[in-house]
Amino acid sequence: MKLFEYVRRGAWPEVVGYGLFVTLLAAGYYYNITFVQLGLIDLGTRLVGLPATTVSAWMGALALVTFAAAVGFGILMDRRGWSRELRTKLRALFAVLCVQFVLTMAAPHVRDPAAFGAWIVAASVSMGVGFPVTFSLTIDFVPVRDRGYVAAAATAVAYFAGNVYPLEWSIGAFSRVMAVAMVPGLVVLGALALRDLGFVDAVADNHREFGVGRFCRPDTVQLRSFAFLGPLALMFGVFFVDSLGFLRIVETPALVRSAWQSPDFSVHLLIGAVHVVGAVAAGVLYTNFDRNWLFAWVFGLFALTHLLYTFDLRLASAVPGLAGGAPPLVNPIFYALTVSFYTTLNFALWPDLSTPATIGTHSAVGVGFAGFLSTFLSTAVALYFEHAEVTLISHLSLVNALALLLFVALGLSLYGRAVYRHARAGPVTTGRAERGAHDDAPGGEP
């Protein structure tokens, strides 16, 4: 790792940059997976008193506004050159954190639908601005060689904290935790953004060395090229499969109370530890293999996870005597492992498909489209299934089939690409064999 080289040289600004970036990325993701995804449902249904379908519609509006704000601000960053200006990005992120701190403190006091809608819009805009700004900090703090490991560290921290604390899924509990965590963040980020600190000047030009992503060598990746649209479509599929399955699981008390809402703290600790193991494994795989293999791992793990869930349900239906105890923990364990795999990939992928001139737009489109719009669409499908009274086993079987289909399709496309390359290469010569080996090296173009 490049980090060890910096430690040996005593390059402490670069070392501190690793820690700062992991903290910012993990904190931002923790905010999204707890406060936004889980807290808003509690706020809308319990405190405001809206029907679940209305809250889901507002969640869809949140996804659309966030996507629009992210793309708009990402394009603005690239056109104005802000993607290369570290101090400008820190000031933008400080402004986002100030807005989110106020919104976090105000959330438990929202009681009417109009205020709930206004809160959603304000939160969406702040998150939309925050995504391209946060991801673009990669080119200032993280060398290309270490991005898989740094993404793994942020994933591990976010999910371990998200599973261990808080245990209660309520807007009040999430608000208290986030407000306490944001105070030191406001102080540190405010100092970096508004004060003339030497640390910022020391790392401000790192984008010249760190800026060109792993998959932009030797040729840069364009937004409308297959090299970008292919991973975008695959990541859209990953988020869609995850949300479609998890939305039904969390609505099933027997499944969620034996895992993510278990009263037993050791269960939370176990799931958090699995997330850490999965993130570390994904970081190693991302660094040493092509990204397509990691996508194949993710789809394969999702298929296996939902196969386990449906197998357990079929067994309980066929032999009711075996269904007396709680659902097995192996199911959420595999789910946690899979989620850590794709989150690590998501953190590292978009900066590695970018340069300092494109990272604002690429990260905004990648996170906004593949993450938020995919989640919005899967939420709509899940609601349709609920109104159509689709059974739990049918719902999870469909998710399992979709994950398996994507896994097989990706495998066939990789095989077809290899056959096409060999067919174009013609008779093998020494020089062509060497070039072919280079093309298949980890990190090569898709």
**Cβ-based neighbours of 357, under 8 Å, separated by 6 or more:** 78, 83, 84
User: Of the ranges 35-49, 80-94, 105-119, 143-157, which one carries the lowest mean pLDDT score?
Assistant: 35-49
Give me the amino acid identity at 201: D
Give me the amino acid identity at 5: E
* pLDDT > 90 in the chain, percent: 51
**Cβ-based neighbours of 71, under 8 Å, separated by 6 or more:** 128, 361, 364, 365, 368
**Where in the chain are the domains?**
2-421
Q: What is the mean pLDDT of residues 124-150?
A: 95
DSSP 367: I
pLDDT at 157: 94
Q: How far is CA 235 from the centre of its chain?
A: 10
Task: Look at 247 and 70; give whichever has higher pLDDT.
Answer: 70
Q: How many residues does the chain have?
A: 446
**Cβ-based neighbours of 154, under 8 Å, separated by 6 or more:** 21, 22, 25, 26, 29, 347
Q: What class is the 2-421 domain?
A: mainly alpha
Q: What is the mean pLDDT of the chain?
A: 88
- C-alpha–C-alpha distance, residues 54 and 52, integer Å: 5
Above 80 in pLDDT, residue 318? no
DSSP 5: H
Task: Look at 41 and 6; give whichever has higher pLDDT.
Answer: 6
Query: 227: alpha, beta or left, given left = phi > 0 and alpha = psi -120 to 50?
Result: alpha
224-245 confidence digits (pLDDT tens):
999 999 999 999 998 898 888 8
Q: What is the mean pLDDT of residues 34-44?
A: 83
pLDDT at 322: 62
- C-alpha–C-alpha distance, residues 383 and 394, integer Å: 14
**Cβ-based neighbours of 362, under 8 Å, separated by 6 or more:** 74, 221, 223, 228, 350, 353, 354
- C-alpha–C-alpha distance, residues 225 and 362, integer Å: 12
pLDDT at 428: 55
3-state helix, strand, coil in the chain (%, to 5): 80, 0, 20
End-to-end CA distance of the chain: give it in Å, rounded: 25
Q: What is the mean pLDDT of residues 352-377?
A: 91
Q: What is the mean pLDDT of residues 55-81?
A: 91
Give me the amino acid identity at 428: V
Above 60 in pLDDT, residue 432? no
Task: Look at 314 and 241; give whichever has higher pLDDT.
Answer: 241
- C-alpha–C-alpha distance, residues 54 and 165, integer Å: 28
Closest residue by Cα to residue 116 from 176, 39, 30, 170: 39
Torsion angle in degrees (nearest 10) through CA of 239, 244, 245, 249: 120
**Cβ-based neighbours of 323, under 8 Å, separated by 6 or more:** 315, 316
pLDDT at 440: 41
Q: How far is CA 175 from the centre of its chain?
A: 21
